[in-house]
Amino acid sequence: NFGIAREARLFDQLVRSEASLALRHVFFAERELSKIPSFDTRPAGAAQPFDTAATRPAQDDTVAINKVGVVGAGTMGSGIAIAFAQAGIPVIVVDNNDEAVDKARQTVMGMFMYQVQKGRLTQEEAWKRGQSIRFTDDWNELADADLIVEAVFENLDVKREVFRKLDAIAKPQAILASNTSTLDIDALARETKRPGQVLGLHFFVPANIMPLLEIVRGRETSPGTIAAAFKLAKTLRKKGVLSGNAFGFIGNRMIFDYVSEANALAEEGVTPERIDAVMKRFGFPMGPFAMSDLSGLDVGLAVQKAAGEQAKGRTNVLERLVEMKRLGQKTMAGYFKYDKAVGKGREPIRDPAVEEIFAEEARKAGIAPHEYSDEEIRDRLLGALVARGEKLLEEGVALRPGDIDIVYVYGYGFPPHHGGPMWYASHERMLTYA
C-alpha cells in the first residue's frame, strides 16, 4: 500500500545519505583497529613503518594484566585508576604528595558514589571498586604489578627519572607505559633495560569516561607488548588505536595544526567567537578556542614550546595571554571570559580585549585583515587537520585513514555523521553542507 511504499522510499533515502555512509565508515573502521600488521624490523625513524602485507602480531606471548600500578595521583592518575577499577583490575597508585593523594581518594569515591546515585552501581559494587584502588607512597609496592602506567607531570626529565626507578623495581616481565600526550617514548625506553616492554598508553581526559586509547609504539616495543595493550583496551572498553612514536602522536599532532589555523584566522580578523560558532555548527561540541581554554593556555604554551618549530605561531598572542594570567576556564579568562553566573562558569563569553590583542599582534607581524565566509573558515580548519593526517600516514605514524577518523570521532568530538576528517576529505564532493 501507499504507506509501505513511502516508508521504503524514505528508508532508501536514509541508507544512501552521506550521514549513513559516514556512520557505516566509523562502524567498520572501529573493527579494523585491532588488525595490526606485523612490524618491519628494519632500522627506521621514530614512526618505524609497518609491513602491511604481513599478519598481525601473535598473542601467545602476551602478558596477562591482572594487577596495575599507576604513578601519580593527579587528575590523569585518578581517572586511569578508576578506569582499571571499573574493569575489575586492582590498582596501586603511588604518589609522595599527601595532598594529591587525599584529593584523589575523594575523586575516586565521589565518582563511584555518583554512579550509585545514578543507579549504575549498587552500594556494595561501589565499595568493592573503591577498595580495589589502593594509595601509597611506597614505590616498592609496585614490584608485583603486571603493568605500571606513569601519569606524572608532562616533563621529559621527570618522566625519565620515573622510568629509571620503575625499571629497578618492577618484575622482569612487567610492562612500563607512559600516559604522555606528546613526549618521546624511545627516550623513556632508553632509561630501562626492557625497551621491548615500554610503550605509550595515552588516555584522554577524563580517563575513566573517554572511550579512546592511543597505543604508542616505540622503536623497540615488541609485538607481544602491543598485543597486550590491545587486549587491555578491549578489557577497558576503549577503542585502541596504534600510533607511531612522533611528537603529539596522532591526535595531538593534528590538533596543534587545527588550533594554529584557528589562531591564523583570528590574526586575519575573524573573531574567536565566530570561528568557534562555525565549528559547533559543523558538529563539534566546542570550537578550537573554547577547547584551548578548557585545556589551559599555560598547558598549550608549554606544549608549543616543547614542539619548537613544529608548532610555532606567527604572533605572540598565546604568550601575552599567559603573561596576563589568562589561562582559560580555570582563571575565568582565556581566549574568552567566563562568569560563574553563566553556565556555571563554563560558557565562553566574547571578550573584545582579546580581539584587540590579536589585531595588535597582526599589525606587528604585517598580517592584513581578510573577510572569510563561514564555509571558508570551516574548510581552512578541517583542511589543516586533513593535511597533517595525510602527512602522518606518509610517515607511518598512523596506519590507516580510518584509524585517524576513530581518534577524532572518539577523542576530539569530530561529528560521527561526517565520518572523521579523513573520510570527510575523501567524500567532500558527496556531502551536502548545511
pLDDT in tens, 230-277: 999 999 999 999 999 999 999 999 999 999 999 999 999 999 999 999
Strand-pair partners of 337: 333, 349
pLDDT in tens, 328-365: 999 999 999 999 999 888 999 999 999 999 999 999 99
- Spot the catalytic one: 202, 417, 418, 427: 202
| All three cell numbers of 278 | 562555525
Tell whether the torsion through CA atoms of 235, 236, 242 and 244 is positive or negative. negative
3-state secondary structure of 335: coil
Q: State residue 274's pLDDT score.
A: 98
pLDDT classification of 307: cutoffs 50, 70, 90: confident
Q: State residue 52's pLDDT score.
A: 40
Domains of the chain: 1-32+401-434 (no CATH), 68-244 (3.40.50.720), 251-398 (1.10.1040.50)
371, 271 contact by CB (below 8 A): no
Lowest mean pLDDT among 144-153, 289-298, 311-320, 351-360: 311-320
Strand-pair partners of 201: 215
242, 233 contact by CB (below 8 A): no
**Is the pLDDT reported for residue 434 higher than 70?**
no
Q: Mark whether 370 is an active-site residue.
A: no
pLDDT in tens, 200-230: 999 999 999 999 999 999 999 999 999 999 9
3-state secondary structure of 34: coil
pTM: 0.90
C-alpha 305: how far from chain center:
19
Burial (CB count <10 Å: 0-12, 13-18, 19+), residue 301:
middle
CB crowding 57-69: b at 16 or more within 10 Å, else e = beeeebbebebbb
Bond from prior residue into 285 cis (ω within 30 degrees of 0): no
Q: State residue 427's pLDDT score.
A: 84
| All three cell numbers of 76 | 590523569
